[in-house]
Amino acid sequence: MEIMMQYFIANPAFYCFAGLAVIFAILMLTMENPVYSAIFMVLTFFCLSAIYITLEAEFIAVIQVLVYTGAIMVLFLFVIMLLNLGRDANLSEYSGPMKYISMAIAFALLVQIGLATKVTFNIGDKGMYPIEKIRQVGNVEVIGGLLMSEYLYPFEIASILLLLGMVGAIIISKKNQ
């Protein structure tokens, strides 16, 4: 308890946003109405973006907000409202044993990952970008430089993937002639 308090005082931002992220995630998957679920999904991702700031990954934090609240949430809400799924009565959710079995599976997974972080935790070699160096140049500049030099091919492939995704989405959602 004492130790937890010390951690909390040393870094309140992380623990506050971590708690909020978990609460919003639970609300997201218990809401009946998918519109509320979408809103809580966005709030969860906002909290994650704040946590990226505590890790000094500013670029990732900004594109998290841009991509997830700017693009993906609008897409989700658009589809929910287009299909008028406000409250679908025939969508009775699972109940009884199925629900408890799946919760037990998820809990087992959580315990397994938690134990893995506790027991076999072996940190690797340090990389070439210590935080002082990144602070000096700026996070965005370092990422931009790497994307244009070392990771040029993955970057180009990502652009082709986005183009294919766009074409695919249009073709799939087009009405059949």
Partner 1 sequence: MAPLSHYLILSAILFSLGVVGVLTRRNAIIVFMCIELMLNSVNLSMVAFARFLDSMDGQIAVFLVMTVAAAEVAVGLALIVAIYRKKESINVDEMHTMQG
Report the site for partner 1 in 111-140 (rule: CB under 8 A): 113-114, 117-118, 121, 123-131, 134
- The SS3 call for residue 160 is helix
From 1, 91, 97, 149, residue interacting with partner 1 (rule: CB under 8 A)? 91
CB 59 within 8 A of CB 143: yes
Q: Which of residues 148-167 bind partner 1 (CB under 8 A)?
A: 151, 154-155, 158, 161-162, 164-166
**Contact 42/73 with Cβ under 8 angstroms?**
yes
CA end-to-end span of the chain: 66
Tokens 């931002």 correspond to 13
| Cβ at position 177, least distance to partner 1 in Å | 14
- Min dist CB 94 to partner 1, Å, is 5
Asked if 69 touches partner 1 (CB under 8 A), the answer is: no
Beta carbons of 53 and 61 less than 8 angstroms apart: yes
Buried b (16+ CB within 10 A) or exposed e, 150-167: eeeeeeeeeeeeeeeeee
Q: How far apart are CA 24 and CA 14, in angstroms?
A: 15
Pick from 105, 135, 148, 156: which binds partner 1 (CB under 8 A)? 105
Q: Return the residues of window 7-66 that contact partner 1 according to CB under 8 A.
A: 7, 10-11, 14-15, 18, 21-22, 25-26, 28-29, 34, 37-38, 41, 44-45, 48, 51-52, 54-57, 59-60, 63-64
CB of 58 to partner 1, least distance (A): 10
For the CB of residue 27, give the shortest distance to partner 1 in the complex, in Å: 10
Report the residue from 86, 102, 136, 148 that binds partner 1 according to the rule CB under 8 A.
Answer: 102
CA–CA distance, 30 with 23 (Å, rounded to integer): 11
Minimum distance, C-beta of residue 130 to partner 1, in the bound complex (Å): 4
Total of residues contacting partner 1 (CB under 8 A): 89
CA distance 34 to 129: 42
